[in-house]
Amino acid sequence: MLLAGCSGGGGPAYDSPEACFNGIKAAISGGDFKTALNGVTDESQSNLSGLLVMAGAGMKAAAAMAGMMGSADNPEAKKLLDAAGAANQVMEKHGVTDEQLKGAMGEGGVMGMMMSGGPSEDAISQLAGVVDDKAQFILDMVEAFMQLSGGEGPDPQEIIDAIAAAKLSDVKIDGDSATGTVTVQPPDGAPEETEEVTFRKTGDGWKLHLDLDALQPAGPDGGEMEMGEGGVEMEFDMGDLEEGGEAEFDFSIGDEEGDSADAVEEDAEAVTE
C-alpha cells in the first residue's frame, strides 16, 4: 500500500517492504524505470551513480587505448568507441567534468584507482557527488552502455518479464531495516535463482537498499570488462600487491595486445586531465 502523497525523492512512498518490492516491479513492467529507481535508497542511487561515473571514465580510457593501438578499423573497437562517445555525452549532459574526475580519482585516473585496490567508499561518494539527478543519470548511462552489447545477450523484454514474475518471501523486519528472499526465473531458462535483499525504512517510506559491495562487479583483487567474442577485453589483477609485487593489466582488441601497465596508466592520466 502507498502512503499518502509522494516521497521527497520524487517516487512513491511505500508502507512496507512488500509494497516497495511490488511497486518497483510494477514500475519496471510499465517501463517507468525512474519511478523504479526512486524505490531504492538514496545511498543506493549514490553508489550506483559513482560506479557508473567511474565506468564511463574507464570506457573513455579504453577508447583512447584503442586509438593508440591503431585499432579503429576493428569492429569491436568501433563499438567501444561509439559507446564511449555516448557515455561521454551523458556525463557532459549531467555536468561531469574531467577536472572533477581527476579530483575524485587522483592522477592515475580510473586505471590507477583500480590497480591500487579499487575505488574506496569516499571516492565513489565524490564521484556520485558531481551528479545532481542521480536516477536520470543512471538511466542515461545504462542506455549508453547498451550500445556495447550490439544486440547480444538476453532480450531486454525477457529481463523485464523475469523481474515482473519475481517473488519476495521470508520478509523479516527489525526496526528500520528488513531482509527478504527474492526468487527469480532467469530469462535463459536456467534454474530459479534466489538472493537475499535488504530494505530500509526512510523518511519517505520503505526502500530497497543495495550496498556498494553488492553493486561492484569485481572483487578487491581484480576485475574484467569483456565485449564480444574475440573483441575488446580489459583485465586487471591486484593480487600481488599485498606481497610487494606489481599490479597486472591486460588490454586487447581481437588479437592485438597492449604492451604494459605503465602505458595504460599514462594514458588514463591523459584522458582524465
**What is the pLDDT, as a whole number, of residue 100?**
81
* Fold classification of 2-40+164-214 (topology level): Nuclear Transport Factor 2; Chain: A, (3.10.450)
| Higher-pLDDT residue of 31, 78 | 31
Residue 93 has pLDDT above 70, yes or no: yes
Whole-number pLDDT of residue 176: 97
Averaged pLDDT score across all residues of the chain:
73
Q: How far apart are CA 223 and CA 215, in angstroms?
A: 13
* Side-chain-facing half-sphere of 145: CA atoms under 13 Å: 20
pLDDT for residue 123: 78
Is 80 exceeded by the pLDDT of residue 135?
A: yes
**Bridge partners, 182 (sequence order):** 168, 195
Rounded CA separation 74/231 (Å)? 9
The whole-number pLDDT of residue 115 equals: 60
224 vs 63, which has greater pLDDT? 63
Tens digits of residue pLDDT in 214-250? 676 544 344 444 444 444 444 444 344 334 444 344 4
Q: What are the boundaries of each domain within the chain? A: 2-40+164-214
Tell me the pairing of strands 232-237 and 167-174: unpaired
Contact 61, 109 (CB under 8 A): yes
pLDDT for position 245: 41
Chain-centroid distance, C-alpha 116: 19
Cβ within 8 Å of residue 24, ≥6 positions away: 36, 39, 40, 208
Q: Across-strand partners of 12?
A: 6
| 143 torsion bin: left (phi>0), alpha (psi -120 to 50), beta (else) | alpha
- Between 61-70, 76-85, 181-190, the lowest mean confidence (pLDDT) is in 61-70
**What single-letter amino acid sits at 180?**
G
pLDDT of residue 239: 40
Q: Per-residue pLDDT for 262 more than 60?
A: no
If you average pLDDT over residues 145-174, what whole number do you get? 79
Is pLDDT of 81 > 80?
no
